[in-house]
Amino acid sequence: MVRVPPSLLKILKGSPKLGQAFLVGGCVRDALLDLPQKDFDIEVFGLDYPELASELSRFGRTDLVGRSFGVIKLTVPSGETYDFSLPRRDSKVGPGHKGFNIEFDPAITLPEAASRRDFTINALMLNPRSGELLDFFGGRGDLEKRTLRHTSSAFTEDPLRVLRGMQFASRFALEAAPETISLCHQIKDRYGELAVERVREEWWKWAAKSKLPSAGLKFLAKTAWIEHFPELNAIRGVPQEPEWHPEGDVFVHTCHCCDAMAALPQWQNADEESRVVYLLSVVAHDFGKAVSTTTELRDGRPRIVSPGHESQSVTLAEAFCARIDLPLALRKRILPLVANHMMPKQVMSDRAIRRLSHRLEPENIQGLTLMMTADASGRPPLPAGAPAMAAHLLERAAELRVAEAAPRPLLLGRHLLEVGMPPGRPVGEILDRAYEAQLEGKFDDLKGTLMWLRDHESSALGPQCVSLLEQKLLPP
């Protein structure tokens, strides 16, 4: 059951005025799933907002920024922060997430309050004093059956709940009940009410926390909400050559690839932003097949091919990332992964590996090999696992010290300015040529840099600058 932090349990058991306070939502759900409980939300009945604020102030610092939603954040002396809220009645009076009339009523019953929650698995409540689980809508049974079911008809008041359903399905490997699918389909046209920031939050949770990412993608398809993401919707039904892709169309392949990525320990152990980058890269890696797939005669018979789909995928991935309002820093990591996910089958030269590490910036070869592994693993019944090319690439990149980042330029602008070159285009041109030579493997230390400058840039630098550079970079 829920492992209530001692600091919170002391408050709940030690305050008579909080005798009708109940743990609600995610912490109860996650406890039943034997998952770590991180956020503890407490719903308090029988008090109004000033009374609740006054009582909580006895136990720590209160933050009343959620006053309009009946929420108070309590930070206790040991540093933990807990959210306390009042039960409320929400009535829809206008479009969007702000179009609600909120009323607080200390007399609201527990079942009535629970009925306002989106899914039965989130409508569970726990009495922290007795340990009794309050389950008015069958949420525990739905968890056991891995069913995602809406709690009540109030579900339709906020269309964001459909995208919440997407990420819940993926995070907990749930399948939506038919009646919930039907209800989501009915409010498909209300997608436009959602602020793009709220859309981004749900996609972020999907990409950062999924256990079975395909469940959320299939949920979007079943509810028809996938139509709001046309780059993703377009790959449904796009055929693939059965010899290379016996699993089915591009959407089916993408679902398998996403699940394969989420199963990799490297993904599971990555930081949150990297998990988002890698999973969204896999989602988008074959977007271009929707516009490039054709049939050609190869080896004497018709073959389904998608020539150049990588470049098309980059354009469509960029549109998708903008559609879900993904931060620019993450888009810059995703696009080079999509652009380079089709690696040549032959062994790459050291020169090509160095250049690849530069093309991937700000991402790196380690991330690319994860994506290659997920891509190769998304073709059942063909065997899963990292392709030999990915293993060789990562091994050689590590030996060249470029697996985690491209080589840093050895020759810097300040070097040239310090020996008397005036700022301007010539400095930039020399630096560009020097870095190209470095990527080519012409040199890998400062001594080699100077030798290359003498041989190739003496006329541009002048002999005096070359001599001064030698004195500064290679002192006796």
- The model's confidence at residue 93, banded by pLDDT at 50, 70 and 90, is very low
Query: Whole-angstrom Cα distance, residue 82 to residue 40?
Result: 6
Q: Produce one character per residue of 159-168: b if its CB has 16 or more CB atoms within 10 Å, e if not.
A: bbbbbbbbbb
Confidence class for position 39, pLDDT limits 50, 70, 90: confident
Report whether pLDDT(91) > 80: no
> Per the confidence metrics, is the pTM higher than 0.85?
yes
Domain ranges of the chain: 6-151, 157-339+369-375, 413-473
301-335 residue pLDDT tens: 899 999 999 999 999 999 999 999 999 999 999 99
**Would you state the pLDDT for residue 471?**
82
Structure tokens at 93: 């009076």
**Domain boundaries 6-151, CATH class:** alpha beta
How many other CB atoms sit within 10 Å of the CB of residue 197?
9
Nearest-5° Cα angle at 160, 158 to 162 = 105
pLDDT tens profile 273-307: 999 999 999 999 999 999 999 999 888 889 999 99
Say whether pLDDT at 96 is over 80: no
Beta-carbon contacts of residue 192 (< 8 Å; ≥ 6 apart): none
- Residue 142's nearest CA partner among 179, 112, 102 is 179
pLDDT in tens, 46-63: 999 999 999 999 999 999
Could you read off the pLDDT of 340-361 as tens digits, one per residue? 998 766 668 888 899 999 999 9
Please say whether the beta carbons of 435 and 411 come within 8 A: yes
Q: Are 321 and 331 in contact (CB under 8 A)?
A: yes
Question: Residue 94 has what pLDDT?
Answer: 55
State the pLDDT at residue 100.
52
Identify the band that residue 140 occupies on the pLDDT scale cut at 50, 70 and 90: very high
Distance between CA 126 and CA 135 in Å, rounded?
Answer: 9
Task: Give 42's strand partners.
Answer: 23, 84
Q: Is the peptide bond before 383 cis (omega within 30 degrees of 0)?
A: no
> What's the CATH code, domain 157-339+369-375?
1.10.3090
